[in-house]
Amino acid sequence: MNLTDIIKPGNLVYTKPKLLTEKTMHYCPGCSHGVVHRLLAEVIEDLGIEEKTIGISPVGCAVFAYNYIDIDWVEAAHGRAPAVATGISRTNPDKIVFTYQGDGDLASIGAGEIMHACNRGEDIVVIFINNAIYGMTGGQMAPTTLLGQKTATTPNGRDAGRNGYPLKITELIAQLPGTSYVTRQSVQTPAAIRKCKKAITKAFQAALDKKGTSFVEVVSTCSSNWKLTPEKSNEWMEQNMFPFYVPGDLKDSSKSDPESYAPLKN
C-alpha cells in the first residue's frame, strides 16, 4: 500500500486549520506557542468569527503571531496589549478582540494594563502564556519564575529576599468583578490540549456573549531557556509548575455584580 492510498478525503480525520498560514513557525522545538496558536486558529474557525476577530500580539516570543494566524492583528508595545484591545473593542463593539501575552508582558511590565482591563470587564479574551521565564531576551527571570529556579538573572536560583515571590496573577485576576471566566490550562498531552481547546472556545463564546473579560492561562514550557529537552521540559513543568500554578478553572460565572459593588444612590 502506498501513502497516496491512505491519503484520501474519506480517511481524513485531522487537518491543518485553514486559518493557520503556510509560514514556518520560528518557535523552538518543544515550545507551547505552536500548539496554542493552532488551538486559537481552530476555535476562531469553529466559531466562524474569522472576519470579525482581531488579535493583539505582544512583545516577546509571540510578537510574530500575526504571521501564523490569518486574521487582522495589531502588534502592541510591551505589556500594553489589554489597553490596545480596549481601544479596538470599545470603538468596535461588534468585533471580537483577544490579546496573546507572555508572563513578562502580562504580569510584569503590563500588570497595570491587565488589571484595569479585567476590572473594567472589557469584553475581550486574554490568552496568557506562562513559562516562568523570559524567552525572547534569553532566559531572564520572569515575575512567575519559581523560587529556586535558575535563570540568566538569577544564576543561583530565584531568592525571595532578593527577587521577591513568584506572582500568581491569575488568582488576582479571578478576584476582579469584571472577569467572568478565569482558567489555567496546559498543552503537554493530547488530553490537556483537548481540555485547553474547550477552555479557549468557552472564553471566546463569553466574549461573543458580552460577559466581560475571559482569561485563559496556559502553563507552558520553554525548553531552550530551561535548558531541557522537550520531553524533560514537560516533566519539569508537571513536577514543578503544576503544584504552584494549579491547573483548573478559577472562576466560571457571568460577569458578577455582587452587592458589595452596588452603586451609591444619587
Partner 1 sequence: MGELRLMKGNEVIAEAAIRCGCDGYFGYPITPQSEIMETLMEREPWNETGMVVLQAESEIASINMVYGAAASGKKVMTSSSSPGISLMAEGISYLAGAELPCMIVNVQRGGPGLGTIQPSQADYFQSTKGGGHGDYRLIVLAPSSVQEMNDFVDLAFKLAFKYRNPAMILADGAIGQMMEKVVLADYIPRRTTEELNETCGSWATNGRKSNRHQNIVTSLELNSEKMEANNIRFQEKYARMEAEEVLYEEIQCDDAEYILVAFGSSARICQKSVDMAREEGIKLGLLRPITLFPFPKNPIAALAKRVKGFLVVETNAGQMVEDVQLAVGSGVPVKYFGRMGGIIPGPSEVIEALEQKLIGG
Least distance CB 178 / partner 1 (angstroms): 12
Least distance CB 190 / partner 1 (angstroms): 30
End-to-end Cα spacing for the chain: 79
Least distance CB 90 / partner 1 (angstroms): 5
With binding defined as CB under 8 A, does residue 45 bind partner 1? no
Residue 164: which region, alpha, beta or left (left: phi > 0; alpha: psi -120 to 50)?
left
Report how many residues bind partner 1 under the rule CB under 8 A: 33
Least distance CB 63 / partner 1 (angstroms): 6
**Which residue's CB is nearer to partner 1, number 136 or number 147?**
136
Q: Are 220 and 130 a contacting pair, CB within 8 Å?
A: yes
- Taking CB under 8 A as the binding criterion, the range among 2-10, 30-38, 70-78, 197-205 that sits at the site for partner 1 is 70-78
- By CB under 8 A, name the one of 31, 40, 43, 85 that touches partner 1: 85
Which residues, in sequence order, are bridge partners of residue 125? 98, 214
- By CB under 8 A, name the one of 25, 28, 47, 74 that touches partner 1: 74
State how beta strands 96-102 and 53-57 pair: parallel
- By CB under 8 A, name the one of 25, 28, 34, 87 that touches partner 1: 87
Number of H helices, E strands in the chain: 10, 7
Least distance CB 160 / partner 1 (angstroms): 29
- Taking CB under 8 A as the binding criterion, the range among 113-121, 163-171, 210-218, 233-241 that sits at the site for partner 1 is 113-121
- Within 93-233, strands assigned E span 96-102, 124-130, 179-186, 213-219
* Rounded-to-integer distance, Cα 234 and Cα 243, Å: 14
Least distance CB 263 / partner 1 (angstroms): 16
Residue 83, all three cell numbers? 489597553
Q: Which of these, 107, 105, 85, lies nearest to 96 by C-alpha position? A: 85
- By CB under 8 A, name the one of 29, 46, 112, 209 that touches partner 1: 112
Q: How far is CA 239 from CA 119, 131, 188, in A?
A: 32, 14, 13
With binding defined as CB under 8 A, does residue 90 bind partner 1? yes
Residues contributing to the site for partner 1 (CB under 8 A)? 50-54, 56-57, 63, 66, 70-77, 80, 83-92, 95, 112-113, 115-116
